[in-house]
Each structure stands twice: as structure tokens, then as C-alpha cells.
Amino acid sequence: MASQEPISSDGHGFYITLPNTASAASHARKQFIRFIEHFRLRRELVADIEAVIGEALANAAEHGSTRHGKIRVEAMLTEQHLEASISDDGPGFFLRGPISADHPPPNSPRGYGLFLIQALVDELEFRNDGKTVWFRKRLGTA
């Protein structure tokens, strides 16, 4: 998606910007999980969110610009959902067509992160010319 809409809500927010390194991505993931654990969500829900954030941050660290680049995580938590974006300063990527969680790339030893993310969230978009992964996850029980 070409335009990045701001994340806004009456819920609780999280924002962090760090240099684009693997250790910074790990730190951002840990800080994010600490943030959501504060709200005492179901353990399974936290595990799903941790996997999504971890995959998105790993992609940002690997494919984003590591020379003077940044990783940004922004999120808003309400009673109904978690909405988050993970951005980097890399060249972005372009995906044609929908991601199918049932059909990852054949014979590929890597590249399953986006399929995993898609399977664990309710909405997924690629914004800012592919430099931002945006998702929404419902917090309900079903």
C-alpha cells in the first residue's frame, strides 16, 4: 500500500526507533513483548504476537538498510485489537497477489516469515512502498 495511515486509537501505545541491527531488532522485540504482557493477554495470543513481531523485525533487520538505517515499531492496543507497524529504511519489497498461508514458495529453505505472519493475524498490509509491515490482530476469544 502506498500510503501509510497513522496508527491511532484510544488504547495504549508503544513506539520505539533503533539502529537497524540484529541486536536492536531483538531488543525491540523484547521491549514490545514486555509492553503487551503488561495487559495480561491470553498466553496463546501473546505467543502469536511474539512470533509476528519477531518475524517482521527479523525481516527488517535482514533486508532493511543497515548503513545508518533505523527500525521502527509502532503499536496501539485497545480492548478489541492490537494494531502495529514495523518499518525499516531499506528498499522495500513488492508482493504481487495475496499471500496464501497454505502455499509457501515450493522448495524454498527460507522465506516463510510472511506466510507465518499472514496465518497469525487478521489483517496484513505492506505500506510505504514495502518498507512497512502493518497488521491488526483481534484480541477476542474466537
* Residues forming beta bridges with residue 86, ordered by sequence position: 73, 133
Backbone torsion region of residue 128, taken as left when φ is above 0, otherwise alpha when ψ lies between -120 and 50, otherwise beta: left
Q: Domain map of the chain by residue range?
A: 12-138
- How do residues 44-100 score in pLDDT, each as one tens digit? 999 999 999 999 999 899 888 767 799 999 999 988 999 999 999 988 876 655 555
Whether pTM > 0.85 for this model: the answer is: no
Give the model's pLDDT for residue 6. 45
Give the cell for residue 82: 492490537
- How do residues 20-29 score in pLDDT, each as one tens digit? 999 999 999 9
Give the model's pLDDT for residue 11. 59
Give the model's pLDDT for residue 9. 46
d(CA 89, CA 118): 22
Give the model's pLDDT for residue 129. 87
Please state the CATH superfamily assignment of the domain spanning residues 12-138 in this structure: Histidine kinase-like ATPase, C-terminal domain (3.30.565.10)
